[in-house]
Chains A and B, each alone.
Chain A
Amino acid sequence: MKRSQHLNTQFETALNKTARTTRLSDEARERGRMRLLAHMNASAVTTGASSPSPRRRNGAALFANLLRAMPMPLVAASLIGITLLGGGGAAAYFAQDALPGDPLYPIKINLNERVESALAFGTEAQGEMSARHAERRLAEAVELASRHQLREQVATIIETNFQRHLDHVERVISQLEEAGNDEAAARLQSHLEARLAAHEELLHRFQEDESQQVDQNTVARFRTHIEQETQEFRSIREQLEERLQRADEAPARQRIAQSTYEAATKSLGEVGGYLVRSKEKIDRSAYDSAWEDIEKARKLIGEGKRLMEAGSYGEAYTNFTEANHLIARATVTINVSLRLNLYGDKKRERSEEDPSLERSDEASGSIRVQLDELLQL
């Protein structure tokens, strides 16, 4: 039977009927509205178009000017605060560090992170935000495990949300591939795979360390879940690599390799600087371990760069991906040492979780010298 026999109607009637069932979801509409408002406020300051006189340069425009000077995550945090000012502003602020079981945790998941997602513009940025949220779930699991509080019920809450974020990242990767944006798909995949592997390794360390007295069954189940997902993202990478090797056009291979090289170099600089600045706050073994990973990554990037210059783009890409893994592992090592007492008893202050979010005003003097050395590829 021909497929068209299901359609007892003309094409234009069927099309019109389909159009009437196609709706923009309320969530997507609101997200779009928020982004548009943020953009309008920001451009109002730049162009002066909607604020031609000093009288019309109101608080919103000044606020927008302030936002423009902030790093994006700080913008999100500020908007969360402003949105809830007078109502639950303080709750939203304090919820940012909440863990499952904490009364503020639902605010963190259902409000703070939704606002962050709403402010991520574009498919790739939204994927990155979901990847970051997935990583946060892992950090929560590690932190709870370190406190011997990763019980089954709590682990289930984390796992459910973790899976939700990963599903979204996978969808975004597919969309990026479909749209022919393999570079962005590769970046997102590589970032997440590396972070998953690093956290899985940490949980493994907890299991092995008898002094930690963790709930072995729960941690083992969580690790299995992460391992499965890591495998999933690894196979996405393998497909990408295979396609890269098969790509008919050298410019396409070169473009992807170049893009991954730039991402790896940028991360190397950021995490290297992060490590140098964190030196006094973390213990020696964490510092050495992170430094070793960064050093290996530096060599891989240097070798990859030579391969790329020789036209071996597929091999170069593999090098850069491996370097990204090592850099991600170094980041997790530093963060864990700053947040938890996994590597020793040294007292530490709390610091930012992601080196890419930091301002560069600390990078001076000896730090800059060490970074320059680090980036000698």
Chain B
Amino acid sequence: MMDHDNFIAAYDEYAEAIYRHCFFRVSSEEQAQDLMQETFLKAWNYVSNGNEVRNMRALLYRTANNLIIDYYRKKKALSLDAILENAPDPAAESAGRMDERHEAAFVISCLSQLDEDCRQVITMRYVDELPVKEIASILGEKENTISVRLHRGLKKARKLMTDGPQP
């Protein structure tokens, strides 16, 4: 069984990736931090109950996904303004940086308008940079199913980029 020190090492290794995944799924820094925290607490509970973990990264993504599903059951729709407020801040005030910030908000806004299945796989593929095979393994789906969702999601996202997301 994974011990205390190894689990903390896993936190150090994956905390940022899980936070980033949560952020692109919920479009809120603070909510993403809460979800990341809860993911590790739940994963520790699972580990400390004596369950064997062969792939820690898969366990963490799976746990985060379940928490995000719960989150969306309660959540209201986010406005573009709210997303802009929460968009990652490149930490500078220059015009170029402001453009980046708006671009980030715009991209996140497009992402947020996809259905949850597509948003999930697109986040895993292009934010987390996971291969299709691993995404399929984490979600318990066939690789072909994941590829279809990616294709469908990208098609819609590209259209949103052209037409502009709905406010």
Asked if A47 and B36 make an inter-chain contact with CB atoms under 8 angstroms apart, the answer reads no
Asked if A43 and B48 make an inter-chain contact with CB atoms under 8 angstroms apart, the answer reads yes
In which size bucket is the chain A interface?
Answer: 35 or more
Asked if A12 and B154 make an inter-chain contact with CB atoms under 8 angstroms apart, the answer reads yes
- For residue A179, which residues in chain B have a CB less than 8 angstroms away from its CB? 31, 71, 74-76
The segment out of A27-35, A131-139, A224-232, A330-338 that lies at the interface is: A27-35
Asked if A43 and B45 make an inter-chain contact with CB atoms under 8 angstroms apart, the answer reads yes
29 A-B pairs (CB sep. < 8 Å): A4-B164, A6-B103, A7-B107, A10-B158, A11-B158, A15-B24, A15-B111, A19-B126, A19-B127, A22-B88, A24-B15, A24-B20, A29-B16, A32-B15, A32-B33, A32-B40, A36-B40, A39-B41, A40-B4, A40-B48, A44-B48, A47-B49, A49-B49, A50-B3, A123-B31, A172-B30, A175-B30, A178-B82, A180-B75
Q: Is chain B's interface secondary structure helix, strand, loop, or mixed overall?
A: helix
10 extra interface residue pairs, beta carbon distance < 8 Å, beyond A2-B162, A16-B129, A43-B44: A3-B164, A4-B162, A11-B107, A11-B161, A12-B125, A19-B20, A19-B24, A24-B16, A33-B12, A178-B75
Given A18-B108, A40-B4, A180-B76, answer yes or no on A32-B36 (Cβ-Cβ < 8 Å). Answer: yes
Q: Is chain A's interface secondary structure helix, strand, loop, or mixed overall?
A: helix
Instruction: Kindly state whether residue A181 has any CB partner on chain B within 8 Å.
Output: yes
| 1/0 contact string of B88-111 vs chain A (CB within 8 Å) | 101000000001101110111011
- For residue B28, which residues in chain A have a CB less than 8 angstroms away from its CB? 175, 178
Number of A-B pairs, beta carbon distance below 8 Å: 140
Instruction: Kindly state whether residue B140 has any CB partner on chain A within 8 Å.
Output: no
Instruction: Kindly state whether residue A37 has any CB partner on chain B within 8 Å.
Output: yes
> What is the minimal beta-carbon distance from A343 to any residue of chain B, in angstroms?
41
Given A50-B3, A175-B28, answer yes or no on A180-B33 (Cβ-Cβ < 8 Å). Answer: no
Asked if A4 and B88 make an inter-chain contact with CB atoms under 8 angstroms apart, the answer reads no
Q: How far is the CA of A190 from the CA of B78 in the complex (A)?
A: 25
Instruction: Kindly state whether residue A171 has any CB partner on chain B within 8 Å.
Output: yes
In which size bucket is the chain B interface?
Answer: 35 or more
Asked if A171 and B108 make an inter-chain contact with CB atoms under 8 angstroms apart, the answer reads no
- For residue A122, which residues in chain B have a CB less than 8 angstroms away from its CB? 34
